[in-house]
Chains A and B, each alone.
Chain A
């Protein structure tokens, strides 16, 4: 099946400034794709480029199955929706007037039914007649989300959709994203909330002008961090070298504190039983043995920090 988004060596420059460079990835239909990166990394510019708002400098892409060329811009925009970071609502108009305007622009059939459905999806049925200017930031964000649903897009670009939302509203948006993806809508999610990306996304890309990493969150963790076992004993081991060296699958170990050890292992399912047996044989009082899990945040910070402060010897 053709991917919903297929990007190949896409770049965008503004004069001498590189917004993003040589970006390639594919997003399958119904997939939630997380697009992460620090401020100024080129995330919004990438979304705008794929949304035909700005033209790429080089490279190619298929958006909702259509080649990204100026002649196809209208057809692409018909099949996608972009919810920008700032809701961009007409504050003097009511919620329903805002949605009516966009329903007309998308020429959706039965606009009132679509509007009712979109409002229901973001739980704003009761606020349809309110002026947007009178709504809180979070409610405006939800109106913008309703607006993005009007044309029932194949690909939905969400730029920080939960920014400014309270926890309950955030949970609602997460549920909506999951439901949309289950119904076959491809979600391109730009976010700074790493736990959000970890929870929602099938695949994550980390951009810092160039694409730094791409893959499922779990794969990124294993790519960037060695698997480690965290071992805690009641008292420090008198001779840890003798206990840990030579055990199957244990590659290295280091002391993290009093009675706390971190073991680099190639396969935790082999290493953990062997380590347990070795500790018992050494008469150690074992408090815990467990695999250390790195979060997506660890992956992100490792990459971004490396970009900001490259290790010595790296050009």
Chain B
């Protein structure tokens, strides 16, 4: 794989985001809505609530953001090129399928990661600044912050690959976006169930999930590249 060509695709995508900032704003809006209600609740919590909070993993709720955020960008990646008629000139260059897919994946992954970490940072900062100290201490704990830091790229990576795979097989931009959003729901469900205590977040559970996501992310490029059918994308046949 030639990094020059991966970089070329990434740079092109980032330039498109820069020229059309609405893409990134739209990506950030949904996750921002995610944190409004929890923040409002946190501000109203009394110091006595800290004891209950200490036995929950509420902060993991924010892991839904990296699971959800890449869906839109990733799902647009390939079918969007096809839709605007730019896929054929792109595929007519020496770019290989894995290089194109890696560039597209990075272009969805990088802003998603920035948004997820950014919103997490904002959430933690507001909590530390404005919530009662006992509540903040109960909510923002070391293991959960580590989980957030470690799982954010893993979840965003997986969600990105699912979106790219859907994009490479879809014929319509809207269908691809809907399917990608739908496909990220299981991850959102797992993170939410963990945050609400339905699934117990033990170290063992975290390690298993982490390793599984790592393996899936490692395999994803190869699997998606092998399923990438240039001919079908160009001609719409098959």
Contacts and interface: CB of A to CB of B under 8 A. Distances in A.
Nearest to A97: B15
A104 B4 CA distance: 7
B204 interface: no
Main secondary structure of the interface of B (DSSP, over half): helix
A174 interface: no
Interface in B56-89: 84-89
A107 B4 contact: yes
Contact of A78 (B4, B15, B94, B238): B94
Given A101-B11, A104-B7, A88 B89 contact: yes
A54 B202 CA distance: 50
Given A53-B231, A55-B231, A92 B8 contact: no
A107 B88 contact: no
B33 interface: no
A88 B234 contact: no
Contacts of B9: 101, 105
Interface stretch (A79-87, A178-186, A296-304): A79-87
B91 interface: yes
A41 interface: no
A101 to B, nearest CB: 4
Contacts of A104: 4-5, 7-8, 11
A77 interface: yes
A187 to B, nearest CB: 16
Contact of B12 (A14, A84, A87, A93): A93
Contacts of A106: 93-94
Given A88-B88, A101-B12, A107-B5, A53 B234 contact: yes
Interface in B78-137: 84-96
A147 B89 contact: yes
Question: What is the interface of chain A mostly: helix, strand, loop, or mixed?
Answer: mixed
Contacts of B19: 92-93, 131
Contacts of B8: 101, 104-105
A276 to B, nearest CB: 57
A84 B12 CA distance: 20
Interface string A88-107: 11111100010011101111
A75 B95 CA distance: 10
B93 A77 contact: yes
B84 A82 contact: no
Contacts of A83: 89
A100 B15 CA distance: 11
A91 B89 CA distance: 14
A14 B232 CA distance: 10
B16 A102 contact: no
Contacts of A15: 237
A161 interface: no
B231 to A, nearest CB: 4
A168 interface: no
Nearest to A54: B231
Contact of A105 (B5, B231, B235): B5
Given A54-B234, A77-B94, A106-B94, 12 more contacts: A14-B235, A48-B234, A51-B92, A54-B235, A82-B89, A90-B12, A90-B84, A93-B15, A101-B9, A102-B89, A105-B5, A107-B94
Interface of A: 14-15, 45, 48, 51, 53-55, 74-75, 77-78, 81-84, 86-93, 97, 100-102, 104-107, 131, 144, 147
26 contacts: A48-B235, A53-B91, A53-B230, A53-B234, A77-B92, A78-B94, A83-B89, A86-B88, A87-B85, A87-B89, A88-B89, A89-B86, A90-B12, A90-B84, A92-B20, A93-B19, A97-B15, A101-B8, A104-B4, A104-B7, A104-B11, A105-B8, A105-B9, A105-B94, A144-B89, A147-B89
